[in-house]
Structure 1
Amino acid sequence: MTSHPIPTLDGKDSFAAYRADPAGTPRAAVIVIQEIFGVNAGIRGKCDRLAEQGYLALAPDLFWRIEPGIVLDPDVPEEMQRGLDLMGRFDQALAIEDIEATIRAARPLVSGGKVGAIGFCLGGRLAYLTAARTDVDATVGYYGVGIDELVDEAKAIAHPLMLHIAGADHFVSPETQAAMHAGLDDHPKVTLHDYPGEDHGFATERGKRRSDAAAEFADTRTAAFLAEALG
């Protein structure tokens, strides 16, 4: 588990990504897209778990343009608020460029093989945009916010996308969830899974937001999805 430098698309700068390597030859690479709390212990834990499953995992620091190395604990109210404040300063279009740069950096690390992505919260929204705007081979989004505003981008999704929806998400209303289903259920590459009664953050790797049974169920679905899509 190390820090790995990622060149920006224009080659004029670079940013760090947490890297977790499997014991043997990686079966593929997976980009882990952070929440609003930076590449914290939970996101690093997601990378470590993916490495245990045989993937090379990279979690890029998407807040580097604001301040490199931000790490927050959502269970601390002041740090939760700082994460929300950072969202107001965050450029999502540039974040997609940084994710694309991470995908490009990952492919040579797996000998030109496949690259997937998994995102959580803010990262769930960015995972959807990654599926629509990059050549990523498969994508998973957990409780992404504001995806109902982005359904028009679905026409550009060419590779498999799975979205996990928290039924009692206090950031994603029932109306928003219904709009996601209305806009995406018929897409041949998109699969939506609902988790009734679960709140935002239910699949976090650690902390008070985690709901063990639902998290394990969603992660089992994700593992099967990635195994089929990435090998």
Structure 2
Amino acid sequence: MGEMKPIKTLSGDGEFPCYVAAPEGIATAAIIVIQEIFGVNKGIKAKCDSWAKAGYMAIAPDLFWRVNEATNLDADVEEEFQVALDLMGKFDQDQGIRDIEAAIHFARDAVIGGKVGCVGYCLGGRLAFMTAARTDINASVGYYGVGIDGLLGEKNAIAHEVMLHIPTADGFVPADAQAAMHEGLNDHPRVTLHDYAGLDHGFAAEFGARRDETAATLADSRTAEFFKEYLG
């Protein structure tokens, strides 16, 4: 359904690739789909296609474009998992937020007068939280975001609604980090947290061994209702 398209950087002096999926009719809102460490792979593209079928314009920026061309990795292949970790170590997250902001600008032009949200997974879940704090995004969702407990100092900058999906047995987000997230965010008027008891990181992946069908369906339904409410 979608295709790779170039989008101008925030500074306007370059371009980077994004997977863009448009609905059959006129999109009145857009969703930025923020990748895991595995790049804009078939799972991220499938999520974009799903949002397009629901009537949104969906855009997945290739955030690793400065460190690797066309990253497309499989979480279930150990060698590719290690490549992903290496790319993550080279990735500039602050620059990544600026690229996400460029995608937001692109989306706002594409859905004139419409709202723009974002949804991210793993690294993308962390970046979704950062996007909520650092940009004018209208709504943000993060799935199993890593290291959000270290970003709580930015919570007062969050102006629009945020939803976070937290699997309680996440091997990358230990119990103390989860507790800090709840302590720091439970009383935030714009933030909603959902726990998924006994589940591990990656439970909502579109493909592969990590997926838990029941929990993924529940989380995705919550996300869909969230965007319906806040993106219109």
Q: Give the TM-score taking structure 2 as reference length.
A: 0.99
For residues 48 and 218 of structure 2, what CA distance do their matches in structure 1 show?
A: 18
Partner of 1:177: 178
Query: What's the Cα RMSD here?
Result: 0.6
Q: For 1:63-142, what aligned pairs fall within 5 Å after superposition?
A: 63-142=64-143
Report how many residues are paired: 231
- The amino acid of 1:122's aligned partner reads L
- SS of residue matched to 2:90: coil
Greater CA drift, 104-113 or 195-204? 104-113
For residues 108 and 13 of structure 1, what CA distance do their matches in structure 2 show?
A: 18
Partner of 1:43: 44
Partner of 1:214: 215
For residues 208 and 124 of structure 2, what CA distance do their matches in structure 1 show?
A: 18
Residue 205, structure 1, aligned to residue 206, structure 2? yes
- SS of residue matched to 1:208: coil
Q: Percent identity?
A: 61
Residue 230, structure 1, aligned to residue 227, structure 2? no
1:4 is displaced (CA, Å) by 1.8
Unaligned 5+ runs, structure 2: none
Asked whether the equivalents of residues 40 and 61 of structure 2 are also in contact (C-alpha less than 8 Å), the reply is yes
Partner of 1:148: 149
- The amino acid of 1:171's aligned partner reads F
Residue 26, structure 1, aligned to residue 62, structure 2? no
Unaligned 5+ runs, structure 1: none
1:68 is displaced (CA, Å) by 2.1
- SS of residue matched to 1:154: helix
- SS of residue matched to 2:64: coil
- SS of residue matched to 1:106: helix
- SS of residue matched to 1:88: helix
1:77 is displaced (CA, Å) by 0.4
- The amino acid of 1:182's aligned partner reads E
For residues 79 and 101 of structure 1, what CA distance do their matches in structure 2 show?
A: 28
Asked whether the equivalents of residues 68 and 87 of structure 2 are also in contact (C-alpha less than 8 Å), the reply is no
- SS of residue matched to 1:141: strand
For residues 27 and 10 of structure 1, what CA distance do their matches in structure 2 show?
A: 26
